[in-house]
Chain A
């Protein structure tokens, strides 16, 4: 039993198990969670012949260094990631969007993401994980999900429940592009801000701050002046909402966000841009561009079509 496992030599900075996340729990204070970059999550699973909603390991910046023990298994990494595979004395440079076979004793060293934040590791099989509300997604703030709600740590084991004997070599030609203009629909408190503040929001550049994680992304720029009230009555939030607290700097809600918030909402990032938004590294410069609801829906259709297209190419 469980003779197949990874030994974690180095866990990486923020490595967690993720899947599609959990629905219908905002009202009790539990956010979606789930893989930050949905497209790369789906592609990782397809590359190893898994179901589209199987758990994967998400890592940020520096990924895990793993030693594999067990029967041969297929793996794939998506995102923009540098990694190496050590097989005996052979050291192979890994490539994203391509499946690789790991054998007993092989090491997989996920060195870093390049000019991006998140990457994904899928295996041709299922990890032995705890599910809560039908999702394994780890929410480290609320201690919910697999691995007791904690990120992976050095020297622990990752046990594999089952290997699907799917050793087809799969490959996809795909390059992640970096977003510079984040498309946004005006928020419900747009009119809380001065004319000058609104102009700054849509015309000026903002810098992604170091204080960004799975909960939210903080941005720095010219102060967006509020002329009504810097607080609102606390109300529900969703992924992509851009709140502006009293200091005038925007904060974008990401997958592990608090479900309720009391800062005015200046805008909401369109669904089509979410995957690329989360990949912005601290220091990146971005601009916000206004779109209306109709265009946002069209953009999402295009985004979804492109994703389906990529999946069908594998």
Chain B
């Protein structure tokens, strides 16, 4: 449940669901997101769910903080209504040219490459949120032994399709972008497609994701 609503500037509500990051809290955030989205409240122009926060921004010409807060305070979330989880299997190639930081990770985690991949590919991930760059999914949770910090100096360009790890999360770079996550492989799959206006994101909050290792040959011929 929302623990506190405050203002973020003069044109957004900051809904705080607490400090913890886990599936239960995030599921609550997503439920609120979907309920509010369906209400089509006049003046609301963006709703951004994250691990444990929900930010609702609005057009100050149409509504203000106090009026919108009242509406959100009184929103009822149907109990037991579960969010629909779609399931995806994402192909990943881990050849040297794609696994830019695997050697670095071996050192950081004091684990052998094979063990890192074994642990990574076994896992089923939950999509907490999407964003930063268009369509980028934030997936959790990595096993404790796979958790590493960001690179000390972020890369200016992380290649499109890169699979990155940081702390308890994995993500996918939907297009070339600056970034500091530890890159362990690359997917040939297009995760964000701006030409599909209704569903540009392959993976959405609440979805479940597993990764499957593929050969370089399969990677190269993926779209054939």
Q: With an 8 A cutoff between CB atoms, is A177 at the interface? A: no
- Decide if B135 touches A27 in the complex (CB within 8 Å): no
**Bound form: Cα–Cα A237–B132 in Å:** 9
- Decide if B8 touches A238 in the complex (CB within 8 Å): yes
- Decide if A132 touches B57 in the complex (CB within 8 Å): no
Question: Closest CB of chain A to B86's CB: distance in Å?
Answer: 15
Q: Which residues of B contact A300 (CB under 8 A)?
A: 10, 60
Among candidates B45, B51, B65, B136, residue contacting A29 with C-beta atoms closer than 8 Å = B136
Q: Show 6 residue pairs from A and B whose CB-CB distance is below 8 angstroms, ordered by the A residue.
A: A185-B7, A188-B14, A233-B19, A235-B50, A236-B53, A293-B10
Q: A142-B194, A144-B194 are in contact. Are A240 and B9 (CB under 8 A)?
A: yes
- Decide if A187 touches B134 in the complex (CB within 8 Å): no
Q: With an 8 A cutoff between CB atoms, is B201 at the interface? A: yes
Interface residues of B (CB under 8 A from A): 6-12, 14, 19, 21, 33, 37, 44-55, 57, 60-61, 64-65, 129-136, 138, 174-175, 177, 192, 194-195, 197, 200-201, 204-205
Q: Which of A29, A233, A234 has the most CB of B within 10 A?
A: A29
Nearest first, the 10 closest Cβ-Cβ pairs linking A and B are: A268-B9, A236-B48, A236-B55, A296-B10, A29-B131, A259-B131, A29-B134, A26-B46, A260-B131, A235-B50
- Decide if A142 touches B175 in the complex (CB within 8 Å): yes
Q: With an 8 A cutoff between CB atoms, is A270 at the interface? A: yes
**Bound form: Cα–Cα A32–B57 in Å:** 11
Q: Which residues of A contact B51 (CB under 8 A)?
A: 233-235
Among candidates A27, A30, A132, A234, residue contacting B33 with C-beta atoms closer than 8 Å = A27
- Decide if A24 touches B9 in the complex (CB within 8 Å): no
- Decide if A24 touches B200 in the complex (CB within 8 Å): no
Q: With an 8 A cutoff between CB atoms, is A23 at the interface? A: yes
Q: Which of B11, B130, B133, B195 has the most CB of A within 10 A?
A: B11
Q: A233-B21, A297-B10, A300-B10 are in contact. Are A258 and B131 (CB under 8 A)?
A: yes
- Decide if B47 touches A24 in the complex (CB within 8 Å): yes
**Bound form: Cα–Cα A235–B141 in Å:** 17
Q: Which residues of B contact A270 (CB under 8 A)?
A: 9-10
Question: Closest CB of chain B to A134's CB: distance in Å?
Answer: 9
Q: Which residues of B contact A237 (CB under 8 A)?
A: 48, 55
**Bound form: Cα–Cα A151–B61 in Å:** 31
**Bound form: Cα–Cα A188–B9 in Å:** 9
Q: A133-B197, A259-B131 are in contact. Are A233 and B9 (CB under 8 A)?
A: no
- Decide if A259 touches B48 in the complex (CB within 8 Å): yes
- Decide if B47 touches A297 in the complex (CB within 8 Å): no
Among candidates B57, B61, B200, residue contacting A304 with C-beta atoms closer than 8 Å = B61
- Decide if A26 touches B9 in the complex (CB within 8 Å): no
A1-51 interface with B by 8 A CB criterion: 23-30, 32
Q: Quick one: CB contact mask for A282-300 with B, threshold 8 Å, 1 for yes?
A: 0000000000010011001
**Bound form: Cα–Cα A149–B205 in Å:** 26
Among candidates A26, A29, A188, A260, residue contacting B57 with C-beta atoms closer than 8 Å = A26
**Bound form: Cα–Cα A188–B14 in Å:** 8
- Decide if A30 touches B47 in the complex (CB within 8 Å): no
**Bound form: Cα–Cα A314–B204 in Å:** 46
- Decide if B132 touches A260 in the complex (CB within 8 Å): yes
**Bound form: Cα–Cα A237–B204 in Å:** 18
**Bound form: Cα–Cα A157–B57 in Å:** 37
Q: With an 8 A cutoff between CB atoms, is A85 at the interface? A: no
Q: Which residues of A contact B44 (CB under 8 A)?
A: 24
**Bound form: Cα–Cα A240–B14 in Å:** 14
**Bound form: Cα–Cα A260–B132 in Å:** 4
Q: Which residues of A contact B138 (CB under 8 A)?
A: 234, 260
Q: Which residues of B contact A142 (CB under 8 A)?
A: 133-134, 175, 194
